[in-house]
Amino acid sequence: MAKIQMTTPLVEMDGDEMTRILWGMIKEELINPYVDLKTEYYDLGLKHRNETDDQVTIDSANATNKYGVAVKCATITPNAARVKEYDLKEMWKSPNGTIRSILDGTVFRAPILVKGIVPYVANWKKPITIARHAYGDVYKNVEIKVPGAGKAELVYTAEDGSEIRETIHQFKGPGIIQGIHNTEDSIRSFAQACFKYAVDTKQDLWFSTKDTISKKYDHTFKDIFQEIYDNEYAGKFKELGIEYFYTLIDDAVARVIRSEGGFIWACKNYDGDVMSDMVATAYGDLSMMTSVLVSPKGVYEYEAAHGTVQRHYYKHLKGEETSTNSIATIFAWTGALRKRGEIDGIKELCAFADRLEKACIKTVEDGKMTKSLSLISTCSEPVILNSLDFIRAIRATFDELGE
Ligand code: NAP
Ligand code: MG
């Protein structure tokens, strides 16, 4: 069979540890035999990031802006232990943070559902995609531990020297205060990415804040979303039969639990942090969560939501067998290849991505899975496979599906 041809390269961001091993296996077993893969390769492995003073991360993000679609392997975010382990020149910043700020993107996380892995919330039938605003609020706060009685004020000084001043609290004794901020630009980018992704995936978009209590701060989020929806997306949503729905965060939580799923839930930074962990856990497993970074211009970077699976990598280095789940990383590839196919009008590439995803799901539903999946699956006699054999089983299913 002739391999599928591509016209525009994918930006390929290689990564670290166990996921780097899986990366190679996925390409060799599942992509290269079927697709004449065209990529512009960037090695974001920590060793190479260190050698290039992290320039490779910046270059890969710029390439993503240029070509429009990237696929990324999980990467190590260095901490003190990693600085020692890799003899780093510096404690380099999180690659995801660097890429996100260059693309000005929003991260959308969604679970991959398979029969036999039942969400804790019984009525969830379809994935819930969480979009988390990744700038500001409590993550860029300024805090003071108030030592004793005194007045706390909020002061804004304009460039011309004029002031806006509000009393926060007249303290009678010790306490605490916190200053947080966000910018209109960042909220607009977030809103644009959310509406674009809803149109792209033809799903309803929910957005929630606490605007009844936070009448200026949260209300601004609500107003910006509404304005962008009314001016740019209302017609498109109507055409697609999808809905934009705003509600209070506490009401949203209640509705999400009662829902069937099948929508995007846009959250402010803190809400997204908390809710994405809740939703991921309720759906079963971090190794079954996909993640895509979408820029307000409509540039896409696909990856798995999990990390580099360090513990498995050390086993692998010792020559021990591993049973690491590659599904979320495979879905990063299929997401990117499908998007490339859509943009370039290559139907075969989209069909390939669809079939490979089906093969992943069917393999697990047929009872062949990795260790971690077997622990949460209702399958009575699962066949537990090692990392490579699992990928090979997916390949066998893929080939069967084609016949
Ligand atoms: P992790 O790599 O997600 O792994 C945590 C644990 O979850 C693993 O030890 C494993 O549990 C389980 N797990 C995760 N993915 C799995 C998979 N595909 N198959 C089977 N089990 C899986 O998180 P971490 O250990 O906290 O972080 C390791 C490194 O990843 C860190 O250096 C961190 O900076 C980086 N990281 C990168 C990204 C990213 O690039 N997007 C995201 C998060 C973390 P068991 O050990 O019990 O089997
Ligand atoms: Mg968190």
Cα 91 to Cα 290: distance, rounded to the nearest angstrom? 27
Distance 286 CA to ligand 2 centre (A): 12
Q: What is the model's pLDDT at position 185? A: 94
Q: Helix 327-344 and helix 17-26: axis angle, to 10°?
A: 50
Distance 113 CA to ligand 2 centre (A): 22
| Residue ranges lining ligand 1, Cβ < 6 Å | 74-77, 96, 286-287, 303, 306-311, 324-325, 372
Cα 351 to Cα 127: distance, rounded to the nearest angstrom? 21
Distance 120 CA to ligand 2 centre (A): 19
Question: For a pocket test of ligand 1, which of 77, 109, 308, 376 has the largest count of ligand atoms closer than 8 A to its C-beta?
Answer: 308
Pairing of strands 300-304, 368-369: unpaired
Ligand nearest to the CA of 280: 2
Distance 134 CA to ligand 2 centre (A): 12
Ligand nearest to the CA of 77: 1
For the CA of 329, the nearest atom of ligand 1: 18
Q: Are 73 and 20 in contact (CB under 8 A)?
A: yes
| 181-212 tens-digit pLDDT | 999 999 999 999 999 999 999 999 999 999 99
Distances in Å between the Cα of 200 and the Cα atoms of 132, 207, 232, 393 are 17, 17, 14, 31
Distance 311 CA to ligand 1 centre (A): 8
Q: What is the model's pLDDT at position 403? A: 58
Q: Where in the chain is the domain with CATH 3.40.35?
A: 118-137+183-283
Q: Where in the chain is the domain with CATH 3.40.718.10?
A: 1-113+298-403
Residues sharing a CB contact under 8 Å with residue 53, sequence separation 6 or more, in sequence order: 89, 90
1-113+298-403: in CATH 3.40.718.10: yes
Residuewise pLDDT in 10s, the chain (403 residues)? 789 999 999 999 999 999 999 999 999 999 999 999 999 999 999 999 999 999 999 999 999 999 999 999 999 999 999 999 999 999 999 999 899 889 988 999 999 999 998 888 989 999 999 999 988 888 889 999 999 999 999 999 999 999 999 999 999 999 999 999 999 999 999 999 999 999 999 999 999 999 999 999 999 999 999 999 999 999 999 999 999 999 999 999 999 999 999 999 999 999 988 898 889 888 877 889 999 999 988 899 999 999 999 999 999 999 999 999 999 999 999 999 999 999 999 999 999 999 999 999 999 999 999 998 999 899 889 999 999 999 999 999 999 998 5
Return the residue whose CA atom lies nearest to atom 44 of ligand 1: 307
Closest to 327 measured CA to CA, from 112, 74, 15, 44:
112
Q: pTM of the prediction?
A: 0.91
Q: What is the model's pLDDT at position 82? A: 96
- CATH for 118-137+183-283, options being 3.30.499, 3.40.35, 2.60.40, 3.40.50: 3.40.35
Return the residue whose CA atom lies nearest to atom 31 of ligand 1: 76
First to last CA, the chain: 12
Distances in Å between the Cα of 392 and the Cα atoms of 161, 329, 330 are 67, 15, 13
Question: For a pocket test of ligand 1, which of 75, 86, 301, 306 has the largest count of ligand atoms closer than 8 A to its C-beta?
Answer: 306
Q: What is the model's pLDDT at position 190? A: 95
Cα atoms in the 13 Å half-sphere on the side-chain side of 260: 5
For the CA of 74, the nearest atom of ligand 1: 40
Distance 337 CA to ligand 1 centre (A): 24
Return the residue whose CA atom lies nearest to atom 15 of ligand 1: 287
- Amino acid making up residue 348: E
Return the residue whose CA atom lies nearest to atom 32 of ligand 1: 76
DSSP lists the bridge partners of residue 205 as: 244, 264
Question: For a pocket test of ligand 1, which of 289, 309, 326 has the largest count of ligand atoms closer than 8 A to its C-beta?
Answer: 309
